[in-house]
Amino acid sequence: DSGVTQTPKHLITATGQRVTLRCSPRSGDLSVYWYQQSLDQGLQFLIQYYNGEERAKGNILERFSAQQFPDLHSELNLSSLELGDSALYFCASSASGTSTDTQYFGPGTRLTVL
Amino acid sequence: ELKVEQNPLFLSMQEGKNYTIYCNYSTTSDRLYWYRQDPGKSLESLFVLLSNGAVKQEGRLMASLDTKARLSTLHITAAVHDLSATYFCAVEREGTYKYIFGTGTRLKVLA
């Protein structure tokens, strides 16, 4: 158990809908990362937050947004969902969000868009 | 555009044998990461390599980084069944905190 929690574990929804994925980092970690893993695109880095501020943005679509709250949990919002958004979404946390940090991954949320 | 290539994509090996997984990347970077993913599970960080010539070892796995050749290797010594998993490398675009992943190497160790 990495100490990173993600909810829900599974989510099934329809095209055009909006969903919110939640991530709670390990106790004491200030940085949260979001990743997408799909058969088509492989593993992709989406976005990183550090202590409530966006630090880096990767291949995140404009339909997707994220934020990190004062209690350091993070939410990833996916809107106008398309079939191709079906994937595993992982979050990870690290202590200070620097390149030297080890990232600890949550169990993931499996999103299915029908 | 930064590209990260791993080979082989699939590797089936006998227990007790040695093998190497290669990770090539296309642009300057001195930050390379290795991860393990068991089937149906999340990712686990294995190694963080932060400079040219960096070498890290944990059990039967050893990772190294050659930034001049833009190459990292993950060497498996005397493989055991428990090492069966998919291994990913990832490169950070220098100074950006943005990570690009390789395609992964699915390793199967046969008893």
Q: What tens digit of pLDDT does each residue of B14-50 get? A: 999 999 999 999 987 778 999 999 999 999 999 999 8
Of A112, A87, A100, nearest in space to A34 by CA: A87
A102 interface with B at CB cutoff 8 Å: yes
State how beta strands A74-78 and A87-94 pair: unpaired
Q: What is the pLDDT of residue A97?
A: 85
Rounded percentage of chain A residues whose pLDDT exceeds 70? 100
Which residues between 50 and 89 in chain A have a beta carbon less than 8 angstroms from any beta carbon of chain B?
55-58
- Residues of B with CB below 8 A from A2's CB? 42, 44
CB contact under 8 A, B42 and A106: yes
Question: A–B: how many Cβ contacts below 8 A?
Answer: 48
CB contact under 8 A, A105 and B101: no
Looking at the DSSP bridge assignments, the partners of residue A20 are A77
- Is the CB of residue A52 less than 8 Å from the CB of residue A31? no
Q: Which residues does A62 contact at the CB level (< 8 Å), separation at least 6?
A: none
- Least confident interval from A101-110, B21-30, B76-85: B21-30
Burial of B34 (0-12, 13-18, 19+ CB in 10 A): buried
